[in-house]
Amino acid sequence: MAGTLLLGAVAYDPKVVTIWDGFRVWLRTQDLDLDYVLYSNYERQAEDLVSGRIDVAWNSPLAWVRARRLAQARDIPLRPVTMRDTDCDLTSVVVVRADSDVQELADLRGRTVATGAVDSPQATLLPLHLLRSVGLDPGTDVAVRRFDIGVGLHGDHVGGERDAALALAAGEVDAACMIDGNSLLFAREGVLPPGARVVGQTPVYDHCTMTAGPSADPRLVDRFGELLLGMSYADPELRPLLDLEGLKEWRPPRLEGFSQLERAVDGAGFYDDSGRVRARDYRP
Amino acid sequence: MPATTDLEHLGLDAGGHLLVDRTLAALAPGDRLTVQGSSPALKVHLAAWCRSQGHGFEDGDPPVVRKGEALTQRWAGAERAGSPAGPPMALADARWGLAARGALVEAGGPPLRLPLVERDHVWADVAPQLYAAAAAAQWDPATAVRWDAGTEAPADVEAAVVQLMTYLVENEQAALVIPARLLTRVHPHFREVVQLLAVQAADEARHVEVFSRRAVLHGDTIGTSGAGGRASLQTLLDEPDFTLAGFLLSVLGEGTFLDLLRFIHTHAPDVVTADVTRLALQDEARHVAFGVAHTTHAARTDPAFLAHLRSAIERRHSALLDTAGLNAEVYDSLVLLAAGSWEPAALARGWQAVQQLQYAMDQGRQRRLQHIGFPADEAAELSALHSRNFM
């Protein structure tokens, strides 16, 4: 198939090179000429997608929200292509120590909550939105101690969440926010104190999504989506790459899973409706 | 009716997933499993765990796991790397990599690129028993030799012992390097062969130690190393083929050394010399046994292989035609050792004993060559072409 599809991905970890090198080799054997560029942060990737500098972007949920707003403001169509099985139906939780007198989120009034980085959907934006939903204004009713690790990576770097959990274990904060999977991981690692309790949980939301922009040849995007959806975990050549990327299968995209984050972004004033960055202390 | 498992108080952060996995193993993809338990975070953790494992999760009270296909898919193309008890397969697959023999090997992963993957190129049926015997017969150089026995060789003979020990160390260093190098080329599916060669190298490491230690037991100067002897050993190191290298080293070289070590042991003028040669002799007998067994196996599976063996002997003989072979001081030391003194009559006896030694060495080589499959006349001819350096 003629033409090259140029994909953007954020280099949140060295394995990203292994993953996209591997996928590139495999896709080329399937007659799809894919190339990729790596970004140091999601904001530039979202801007470049909408500007047509790259054809498709492997977007974080927050990058999807930003790209959608940027595109809508310019009346540019975006096309969701695919997402991972592990991107569907995630939740974030607010955790306290076993001996805490906090029984429910409302009890956190006047207390300190640890979060991940400023731009982490799962460990900051969504859990703080959860607090707002029970009438607690972060920064006013609840003090927020943020752990800004990997700013610009939209929470892909787990360091902020881990530091939040460590602060909880050390007794420095009253609660910590994290994605459900990391609450299991940190409990297994002993980072969370024994018997840590979940006192709040967000509704389910979706995570990363592959998005095609205005410069992409629709036929190449069709083929790309078709090939990703056809990847089998039974294929020994692909399985190590799928394991690295953290999925068992690609799934058709869906957009309803991002509405909660859209509201959280508005609630925090993170981006405006046109996709401009409004968070004052955000420097990706 | 979905299957049920009850984790009781056990959380997924403390091993609860083992019980879920165990129950799921008996189910088919798509089947549902109700998970009961009293861990407060059970539902949060179970949902996250299911997502990471490719299982479906139904939020309910109690929650339900819907078995996914990932595990089935992961093992879809897996195959057994032969059978654990053996015998090994005729051909070891590079894709098995370092997996244990008989393991269920997941498809994928890096292939193990080793040249020796055909059973008949490395194997002997007696290899497992020889390895077991070798492992059981390991001895500690610190305690197996009576270093403090207090017996000393007569001064006249001590220099001969030191020269012989110097020569033995040089030869055992070649005998260490060769199996160590060969074993890194053998596919681990033939594990008894790899293990046997590893122990063989370890045996030689101990021989090098005890012969070195005996050499300086009563002094701090050791003997000479002749260029011809080293040239002879170099031809062993230069042989790239597994079977030919093993044939030249173990069948002919170490086979000849059995008689040599027995000779030194018989004429040992002190307890330590007697001990170190006796211990080395036990080990060398196993090395020879494997060399003969494998070469015989190779020759029986491919009768044309006898011609290769013959060529290897002739090639080595040609390469050594212009070299001195055995260090003359080694030969003289053997005579003096058997003589026990510089008296002419004793030296005559010693000379005769070394003549008999060489005859015994030749007879032993012929016997082994015939066992491998050579006719008697050819065995005699080939034995005569063996290196003058004995090894």
ipTM: 0.95
pLDDT class of B323 with cuts at 50, 70, 90: confident
Residue B164 tokens, joined: 């012989």
Residue B55 tokens, joined: 């299982």
Summary mean pLDDT of chain A = 97
Q: Is residue A282, in this structure, part of any structural domain at all?
A: no
> Distance (Å) from the C-alpha of residue B119 to the closest C-alpha of chain A?
27
Cβ separation B48–A181 shorter than 8 A: yes
CA distance A32 to B216: 72
pLDDT at res. B54: 97
Q: Is residue A284, in this structure, part of any structural domain at all?
A: no
Mean of pLDDT values over A69-80: 97
pLDDT at res. B377: 97
Mean of pLDDT values over B169-182: 98
Of A90, A91, A233, the CB nearest to B73: A233
What is the percentage of chain B residues whose pLDDT exceeds 90?
93
CA distance A77 to B67: 38
Locate the chain A residue with the closest alpha carbon to B15: A188
Grouping H, G, I as helix, E, B as strand and the rest as coil, residue B4 is: strand
Residue B12 confidence (pLDDT) above 80: yes
pLDDT at res. B82: 96
A74/A213 same-domain check: yes
Cβ separation A184–B40 shorter than 8 A: no
Q: Is residue A125, in this structure, part of any structural domain at all?
A: yes
Give A5's strand partners: A34
Chain B contact for A237 (CB, 8 A cutoff): yes
> Distance (Å) from the C-alpha of residue B44 to the closest C-alpha of chain A?
6
Summary mean pLDDT of chain B = 96
Q: How does pLDDT run across A173-213, given as a tens digit for each residue?
A: 999 999 999 999 999 999 999 999 999 999 999 999 999 99
Q: How does pLDDT run across B281-310, given as a tens digit for each residue?
A: 999 999 999 999 999 999 999 989 999 999
Cβ separation B45–A180 shorter than 8 A: yes
pLDDT at res. B325: 77
A81/A149 same-domain check: no
Note down the domain range covering A59.
Answer: 5-87+207-268
Q: How does pLDDT run across B194-207, given as a tens digit for each residue?
A: 999 999 999 999 99
Of B13, B44, B77, the CB nearest to A188: B13
**Total domains in the fold of chain A:** 2
User: What pTM does this model have?
Assistant: 0.86
A73/A104 same-domain check: no
A82/A213 same-domain check: yes
CA distance B391 to B376: 22
pLDDT class of B151 with cuts at 50, 70, 90: confident
Locate the chain A residue with the closest alpha carbon to B68: A248
Locate the chain A residue with the closest alpha carbon to B57: A89
Name the strand (E) or helix (H) holding B29.
none
* Residues in B touching A184 (Cβ below 8 Å): 12-13, 41, 44-45, 48-49
CA distance B368 to B120: 19
Mean of pLDDT values over A249-268: 98
Q: How many CA atoms lie within 13 A of A172 on its CB side?
A: 13
Q: Is residue A151, in this structure, part of any structural domain at all?
A: yes
Mean of pLDDT values over B112-139: 97
Grouping H, G, I as helix, E, B as strand and the rest as coil, residue B34 is: strand
Buried b (16+ CB within 10 A) or exposed e, B356-382: ebbebbbebbbebbeebbbeeeebbbb
Residue B1 confidence (pLDDT) above 80: no
CA distance B13 to A28: 41
* Residues in A touching B107 (Cβ below 8 Å): 236
CA distance B158 to B163: 9
What is the percentage of chain B residues whose pLDDT exceeds 70?
100
Mean of pLDDT values over A218-243: 97
What is the DSSP code (8-state) at residue B6?
E
Chain B contact for A236 (CB, 8 A cutoff): yes
Of A179, A234, A249, the CB nearest to B77: A234
Domain coordinates of chain B in residue numbers?
A: 4-73, 78-113, 119-390
Q: Which CATH architecture has domain B4-73?
A: 2-Layer Sandwich (3.30)
Name the strand (E) or helix (H) holding B330.
helix B328-339
Determine the residue among A84, A97, A248, A251 to mutate to test chain B binding: the one whose Cβ has the most chain B Cβ atoms within 10 Å: A248
Domain stops at, among A154, A170, A201: A201
Mean of pLDDT values over A141-146: 98
Cβ atoms of B182 and B197 closer than 8 Å: yes
pLDDT at res. B2: 81
Q: How does pLDDT run across A97-112, given as a tens digit for each residue?
A: 999 999 999 999 999 9
Residue A211, domain CATH = 3.40.190.10
Mean of pLDDT values over A82-98: 98
List, edge to edge, every strand of the sheet that includes A143-146: A143-146, A112-115, A175-179, A92-96, A197-201
pLDDT at res. B274: 98
Q: Is residue A254, in this structure, part of any structural domain at all?
A: yes
Cβ separation B70–A89 shorter than 8 A: no
Determine the residue among A239, A244, A249 to mutate to test chain B binding: the one whose Cβ has the most chain B Cβ atoms within 10 Å: A239
Residue B324 confidence (pLDDT) above 90: no
Chain B contact for A234 (CB, 8 A cutoff): yes
Residue B124 confidence (pLDDT) above 80: yes
Domain stops at, among A201, A234, A253: A201
CA distance A139 to B269: 93
Residue B335 tokens, joined: 């005579």
pLDDT class of B60 with cuts at 50, 70, 90: very high
DSSP string, chain A: --SEEEEEEE-SSTHHHHHHHHHHHHHHHTT-EEEEEEESSHHHHHHHHHHTSSSEEEE-HHHHHHHHHHHHHTT---EEEEEEGGGSSB-EEEEE-TT-S--SGGGGTTSEEEES-TT-IIIIIHHHHHHHHTT--BTTTBEEEE---STTSTT-STHHHHHHHHHHHTTSSSEEEEEHHHHHHHHHHT-SPTT-EEEEEPPPB---EEEE-TTS-HHHHHHHHHHHHH--TT-TTTHHHHHHHT-S-EE---SGGGHHHHHHHHHHT-B-TT--B--TT---
CA distance A47 to A68: 10
pLDDT at res. B86: 86
Cβ separation B44–A236 shorter than 8 A: no
Mean of pLDDT values over A145-151: 97
The domain made up of B119-390 has a fold known as: Ribonucleotide Reductase, subunit A (1.10.620)
Q: How does pLDDT run across B264-284, given as a tens digit for each residue?
A: 999 999 999 999 999 999 999
Q: Is residue A30, in this structure, part of any structural domain at all?
A: yes
Mean of pLDDT values over B330-359: 97
A35/A101 same-domain check: no
3-state secondary structure B45-114: HHHHHHHHHCCEEECCCCCEEECCCHHHHHCCCCEECCCCCCCCCCECCHHHCCCCCCCEECCCCCCCCC
A126/A81 same-domain check: no
Residue B27 confidence (pLDDT) above 90: yes
